A and B are shown apart, each in its own frame.
Chain A
């Protein structure tokens, strides 16, 4: 006879079998049995200040490690506080398992104390969800939840557990096998070789190809296969925001980021290419601008594990549905060197002609600070961000070289994501350097989690670009609302005191000559979080920019405009060495 265990014990036993070592959350009435069982286990449970922090930490942990992140909350307000974090993970396809407490099964639906319909509220923002009314279902549910969260197109799964299902007992039988008949094909869609061959032929015919890469390549662990295709066939690579890191930006074939705040030359390259090869990317409107004019001269290939992302915003000529790694391997088997010498030369000329620019101002510039962080960390740190101008500047001016090095909310654009995500990443990768490049507005939305980082002596480094504004909003108001700054100016806050009050090192930097030493000080602070408040220029705009709904070759804040304004070209990448110059044509 198998042993009888309480539901909460089964839950914890199953978490351990999934290899969970860390979880983030806050206890409350109905999940006390779960926390009590966790207390007696090997799993390290990190108490956060707010449940949103717990969800973002689980998310940051997952993005940094590739493993499933786990967060826990009580019923009612605990669960609703998770919602923003779950939605953030959903939009970016991040494997998270959220475990919420629920009121007793017998009172569900009675508006009991702290009752909300958590499964109902989270239905549109989870990949799947469960309500476990019977402890006999617990083991199967936990097993399925981790499987679903981490396979196919990953995503968050919610397990809602009424308190009675955690205290009553059931025989513990660990399900070795998983049978989910509605899910089999999604985990391993059968590769249609005809689709692959058509794509391979389109590639072979192309003279001006561009690889457009999203986070799907990172999720699939296919960076090596991507590099092989690019190098073997001589195809330049641009990435979406979430794709940054999938292809080293030091590589001469790297075009960096495309889209709304992508590089000018990169967007021109996309506008001119004859073949766009989308891989694990979802043709987001921040990337495509006006969808029917996106890469309008190009045939389009779209490789994705999720059939529903094909033709969603942009109609493609050659869809290939399948695991990105598997598809890339199949394509690599066909790939031959293409004659792209002229194309690469054109791109190289455009790169030199249309560099990123900015003009020095009286006050510090975020772009400069980020360049300095990039240099100090050799592009090898993990960078988390908030949402706004600083996020786009981080994407532009930090040189990302490794997968899982940029942790940012791309799909939902969640302000307040940066700090807790950085904390989660640092828990997952204790030996890596983790920076949160944040805005003063975003940072304050979850700043209370500094206390969590300090409690655990995490050496997370926070660089706040304090422009005293919701800078991106202010920029749009200046561009599109005649400068009326409706509610975009922030109240002044002393971030140094805020840091110190939370047990962190606090530094304020106002002069260019102090930037480097402050960064060095943070790099050498290994037992405590460091918060650097950079007092930066308030009116600086993030350029270049594709105005919403405009095509890629009609950008604002282009290099020639900035040049007239006294802008200076910024060489963010190391000059290609001799050998790579050759491969650039």
Chain B
């Protein structure tokens, strides 16, 4: 059965590594839900948090195949409940004088804020785990979202 898995991959911090990792996953016809990369406390390494849709057996394969890449130092699967995950969301939402207050209210409710505002729209900023942000997006849809970006998940074991 196919489900979402979060894997955390520690890699060498040099060019071409992202292509190797994403190429390996896509060559196995897995869909990458999200992938985020940044350098770690050690500037010679980067950490990728990858969310993929896969069944358990195939996932095990991909983890091992990732481990086979020379530039990959460590591969870890983060299991539900054992990690903290966050993503950042930015959404431009249509707003007028009347709805702006409502949007401010929603932002507050989700621990976010209005990062920018014009006469016709606001840009909302919020961070949280995936499910929370999914709920936020649902609420924002009732106003009109004209542009939405999310960073994808970053995660750290507890």
Chain B 3-20, CB within 8 Å of chain A: the 1/0 string? 000000001100010011
Q: Is A524 an interface residue (CB 8 A)?
A: no
Output the nearest chain B residue to A306 by Cβ-Cβ distance: B68
Chain A residues packing against B (C-beta within 8 Å):
119-120, 123-124, 127-128, 131, 148, 153, 180-183, 186, 306-308, 310-312, 315
Contacts of B157 in A (CB 8 A): none
Count how many pairs of residues, one from A and one from B, have CB atoms less than 8 Å apart in the complex.
43
For B60, B64, B70, B72, the residue with the greatest tally of chain A CB atoms inside 10 Å of its CB is B70
Q: Is B1 an interface residue (CB 8 A)?
A: no
Output the nearest chain B residue to A308 by Cβ-Cβ distance: B64
Chain B residues packing against A (C-beta within 8 Å):
11-12, 16, 19-20, 23-24, 27, 57, 60-61, 64-65, 67-73
Which residue of B12, B27, B68 contacts A308 across the interface (Cβ within 8 Å)?
Answer: B68
- Sort A-B residue pairs by CB-CB distance and give the 8 closest, nearest first: A308-B64, A128-B70, A182-B73, A308-B65, A307-B64, A182-B72, A183-B70, A182-B70
Contacts of A310 in B (CB 8 A): 64
Output the nearest chain A residue to B45 by Cβ-Cβ distance: A181
Which residue of B16, B20, B64, B70 contacts A148 across the interface (Cβ within 8 Å)?
Answer: B70
Asked whether, in the complex, the Cβ of A123 is within 8 Å of the Cβ of B20, the reply is yes
Query: What distance in Å separates the Cβ of B64 from its nearest Cβ neighbour in chain A?
Result: 4
Given contacts A123-B20, A308-B67, contact A182 B61 (CB under 8 A): no
Which residue of A182, A312, A315 contacts B12 across the interface (Cβ within 8 Å)?
Answer: A182
Taking A124-B24, A307-B64, A312-B61 as known contacts, 8 extra A-B pairs with beta carbons closer than 8 A to each other, sorted by chain A number, are: A123-B23, A128-B69, A148-B70, A181-B12, A181-B73, A186-B67, A308-B68, A311-B57
Contacts of B60 in A (CB 8 A): 311
Contacts of B67 in A (CB 8 A): 186, 307-308
Contacts of B61 in A (CB 8 A): 308, 311-312
Query: What distance in Å separates the Cβ of B26 from its nearest Cβ neighbour in chain A?
Result: 10
In the bound assembly, the distance between CA atoms of A183 and B73 in angstroms comes to: 8
Contacts of B70 in A (CB 8 A): 127-128, 148, 180, 182-183
Asked whether, in the complex, the Cβ of A186 is within 8 Å of the Cβ of B68, the reply is yes
In the bound assembly, the distance between CA atoms of A392 and B70 in angstroms comes to: 35
In the bound assembly, the distance between CA atoms of A306 and B61 in angstroms comes to: 11
Asked whether, in the complex, the Cβ of A123 is within 8 Å of the Cβ of B19, the reply is yes
Contacts of B71 in A (CB 8 A): 128, 182
Contacts of B72 in A (CB 8 A): 182
In the bound assembly, the distance between CA atoms of A186 and B75 in angstroms comes to: 13
In the bound assembly, the distance between CA atoms of A182 and B21 in angstroms comes to: 13
Contacts of A186 in B (CB 8 A): 67-68
Output the nearest chain A residue to B44 by Cβ-Cβ distance: A181
Contacts of B23 in A (CB 8 A): 123-124
Given contacts A119-B16, A131-B16, A311-B61, contact A182 B27 (CB under 8 A): no
In the bound assembly, the distance between CA atoms of A260 and B24 in angstroms comes to: 29
Contacts of B64 in A (CB 8 A): 307-308, 310
Q: Can you list 10 A-B contacts with CB-CB less than 8 angstroms, sorted by A residue number?
A: A119-B16, A123-B20, A128-B71, A181-B12, A182-B12, A182-B69, A182-B72, A183-B70, A307-B68, A308-B61
Contacts of B11 in A (CB 8 A): 182
In the bound assembly, the distance between CA atoms of A181 and B70 in angstroms comes to: 8
In the bound assembly, the distance between CA atoms of A310 and B11 in angstroms comes to: 23
Output the nearest chain B residue to A310 by Cβ-Cβ distance: B64
Query: What distance in Å separates the Cβ of A523 from its nearest Cβ neighbour in chain B?
Result: 44
Query: What distance in Å separates the Cβ of A185 from its nearest Cβ neighbour in chain B?
Result: 8
Contacts of B73 in A (CB 8 A): 181-182
In the bound assembly, the distance between CA atoms of A73 and B71 in angstroms comes to: 25
In the bound assembly, the distance between CA atoms of A148 and B68 in angstroms comes to: 11
Contacts of A181 in B (CB 8 A): 12, 73
Contacts of A307 in B (CB 8 A): 64, 67-68
In the bound assembly, the distance between CA atoms of A280 and B65 in angstroms comes to: 17
Query: What distance in Å separates the Cβ of A160 from its nearest Cβ neighbour in chain B?
Result: 11
In the bound assembly, the distance between CA atoms of A376 and B71 in angstroms comes to: 49
Output the nearest chain A residue to B57 by Cβ-Cβ distance: A311
For A127, A180, A181, A306, the residue with the greatest tally of chain B CB atoms inside 10 Å of its CB is A181
Contacts of B65 in A (CB 8 A): 308
In the bound assembly, the distance between CA atoms of A128 and B72 in angstroms comes to: 11
Output the nearest chain A residue to B17 by Cβ-Cβ distance: A182
Contacts of B68 in A (CB 8 A): 153, 186, 306-308
Output the nearest chain A residue to B60 by Cβ-Cβ distance: A311
In the bound assembly, the distance between CA atoms of A131 and B65 in angstroms comes to: 22
Query: What distance in Å separates the Cβ of A162 from its nearest Cβ neighbour in chain B?
Result: 14
Output the nearest chain B residue to A315 by Cβ-Cβ distance: B57
Query: What distance in Å separates the Cβ of B70 from its nearest Cβ neighbour in chain A?
Result: 4
In the bound assembly, the distance between CA atoms of A461 and B60 in angstroms comes to: 46
In the bound assembly, the distance between CA atoms of A128 and B20 in angstroms comes to: 9
Asked whether, in the complex, the Cβ of A124 is within 8 Å of the Cβ of B27, the reply is yes
Asked whether, in the complex, the Cβ of B57 is within 8 Å of the Cβ of A120, the reply is no
In the bound assembly, the distance between CA atoms of A148 and B69 in angstroms comes to: 11
For A131, A307, A310, the residue with the greatest tally of chain B CB atoms inside 10 Å of its CB is A307
Query: What distance in Å separates the Cβ of A18 from its nearest Cβ neighbour in chain B?
Result: 18
In the bound assembly, the distance between CA atoms of A186 and B73 in angstroms comes to: 11
Contacts of B27 in A (CB 8 A): 124
Contacts of B69 in A (CB 8 A): 128, 182
Query: What distance in Å separates the Cβ of A146 from its nearest Cβ neighbour in chain B?
Result: 13
Contacts of A127 in B (CB 8 A): 70
Query: What distance in Å separates the Cβ of A413 from its nearest Cβ neighbour in chain B?
Result: 19
Query: What distance in Å separates the Cβ of B27 from its nearest Cβ neighbour in chain A?
Result: 6
